[in-house]
């Protein structure tokens, strides 16, 4: 194992922040796995899971049990960790640009379509090797215009040629859920089963160019373009939402770390006993079947349902109580589904996020992710 510090120079400042990565196994000896935690900086459950993973990977690497390469970034956003507003950490958006730290990653497929013209055939392994080589070159050619983009380039440089990408997050309040590409369901479902995910949200394109799709979507975009070539979905990238931001305890973190290690055993990266897969708590759900609910007016948010509850169409989920006017409005979903994520705030202004309900039937269009 070795660690690498990647300096991020902050212009017009004497400070230099470091992004630290830990590298296990031997590059080129098997599958490459990239794991990062807390791109939104203050996603503390993800960082604790990464800490426990690091301890186990240190031992497994010393014992020669890593059959490939694993890159672990336990705190993926030193820029966001340095941001504080009114005494509280603020890691979702870059304060200098207003952009989400998990949006606007370079999507290399468009450039590769011209670079690969006439160079692909029916040898899938050869195609994968060539695409990864050109993808690395394309990311290297990215010229970031600000500090946040510099961070994004560093992260994507380490992940763009990985076989498996695990992007560990947490929500405001939530049950454990995941986001992945529709073509990746078969390879990600075992991870969902091992982690006890309640919802596995899938889409071919979510919008916004999130990190996981910058790594994975290039493969099916190219496959759709080069229909006569053998191009598999060679990067299984997934965003894992480790419940809510206050769900920070050793029991949850150890459970999650153990599940990730078991997954890596099942895919042949770790030489440890692989347990039988548990029964699934969910199957894939189209991301465009998720209904976000927002406050119709300002007031106190009172939930009438709990996270993890199944709700019927029109069934009361929460009330918005305006203590000044006396107005009380009940909020319901228009379709049945699972209440899987909600805000931690209990006083909202009009239009603010309340919760999300995962249904079964697609109905939304456009950008499917929140800002």
Check which CATH number belongs to the domain holding 344 and give it: 2.40.50.100
Give yes or no: residues 217 and 297 share one domain. Answer: no
Ordered DSSP codes for 128-185: HHHHHHHHHHHHHT---SSHHHHHHHHHHHHHTT-SEEEEEEEESEE--EEEEEGGGH
Instruction: Decide if 184 contacts 52 (C-beta within 8 A).
Output: no
Give yes or no: residues 247 and 297 share one domain. Answer: no
Mapped onto helix, strand or coil, the DSSP state of residue 336 is: coil
Give yes or no: residues 173 and 261 share one domain. Answer: yes
Please tell me the distance from the alpha carbon of residue 98 to that of residue 94, in angstroms, as a whole number.
Answer: 5
CATH number at residue 259: 3.40.630.10
How many residues does this entry show for the chain?
371
Among 164, 148, 139, 128, which Cα is nearest to 35's? 164
Tokens of 154: 């560093």
Tokens of 71: 């890159």
Give yes or no: residues 218 and 353 share one domain. Answer: no
Please tell me the distance from the alpha carbon of residue 200 to that of residue 152, in angstroms, as a whole number.
Answer: 25
Please tell me the distance from the alpha carbon of residue 186 to that of residue 181, in angstroms, as a whole number.
Answer: 10
Asked which of 282, 316, 336 is the last residue of a domain, the reply is 282
Give yes or no: residues 229 and 197 share one domain. Answer: yes
Asked which of 282, 307, 334 is the last residue of a domain, the reply is 282
In a domain, 322, yes or no: yes
Tally of domains in the chain: 2
- Ranges under pLDDT 70 in the chain: 9-15
Residue 5's pLDDT is what? 72
Residue 13's pLDDT is what? 56
Residue 289's pLDDT is what? 97
Domain containing 354: what range? 286-358
Give yes or no: residues 205 and 98 share one domain. Answer: yes
Among 251, 230, 218, 248, which Cα is nearest to 105's? 218
Helix ranges restricted to H, the chain:
44-62, 78-81, 109-115, 124-140, 147-159, 185-195, 211-225, 250-266
Give yes or no: residues 44 and 179 share one domain. Answer: yes
Helices H / strands E in the chain, number of each: 8, 20
């Amino acid at each position: 194992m070795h660690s690498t510090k990647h300096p991020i120079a902050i212009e017009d400042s004497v400070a230099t922040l470091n992004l630290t990565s830990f590298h296990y196994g031997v590059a080129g000896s098997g599958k490459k796995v990239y794991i990062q935690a807390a791109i939104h900086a203050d996603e503390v459950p993800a960082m604790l899971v990464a800490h426990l993973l690091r301890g186990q990977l240190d031992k497994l690497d010393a014992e020669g049990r890593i059959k490939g390469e694993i890159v672990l970034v336990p705190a993926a956003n030193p820029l966001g960790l340095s941001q504080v507003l009114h005494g509280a950490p603020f890691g979702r958006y870059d304060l200098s640009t207003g952009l989400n730290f998990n949006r606007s990653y370079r999507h290399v497929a468009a450039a590769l379509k011209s670079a690969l013209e006439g160079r692909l055939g029916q040898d899938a392994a050869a195609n994968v090797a060539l695409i990864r080589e050109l993808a690395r070159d394309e990311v290297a050619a990215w010229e970031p215009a600000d500090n946040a983009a510099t961070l994004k380039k560093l992260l994507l440089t380490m992940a763009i040629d990985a076989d498996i990408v695990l992007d560990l997050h947490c929500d405001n309040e939530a049950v454990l859920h995941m986001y992945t590409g529709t073509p990746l369901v078969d390879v990600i479902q075992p991870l969902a089963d091992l982690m006890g995910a309640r919802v596995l949200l899938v889409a071919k394109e979510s919008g916004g160019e999130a990190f996981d799709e910058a790594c994975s979507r290039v493969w099916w975009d190219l496959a759709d373009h080069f229909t006569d070539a053998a191009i598999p979905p060679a990067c299984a990238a997934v965003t894992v939402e480790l419940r809510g931001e206050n769900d920070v305890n050793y029991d949850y973190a150890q459970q999650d770390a153990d599940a990730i290690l078991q997954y890596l055993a099942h895919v042949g990266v770790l030489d440890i006993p692989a347990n039988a897969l548990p029964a699934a708590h969910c199957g894939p759900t189209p991301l465009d079947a998720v209904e976000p609910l927002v406050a119709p007016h300002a007031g106190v948010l009172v939930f009438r349902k709990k996270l993890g509850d199944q709700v019927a169409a029109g069934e009361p989920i929460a009330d918005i109580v305006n203590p000044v006017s006396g107005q009380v409005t009940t909020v319901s979903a228009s379709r049945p589904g699972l209440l899987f994520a909600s805000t931690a705030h209990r006083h909202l202004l009009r239009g603010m996020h309340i919760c999300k309900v995962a249904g079964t039937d697609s109905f939304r269009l456009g950008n499917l992710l929140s800002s």
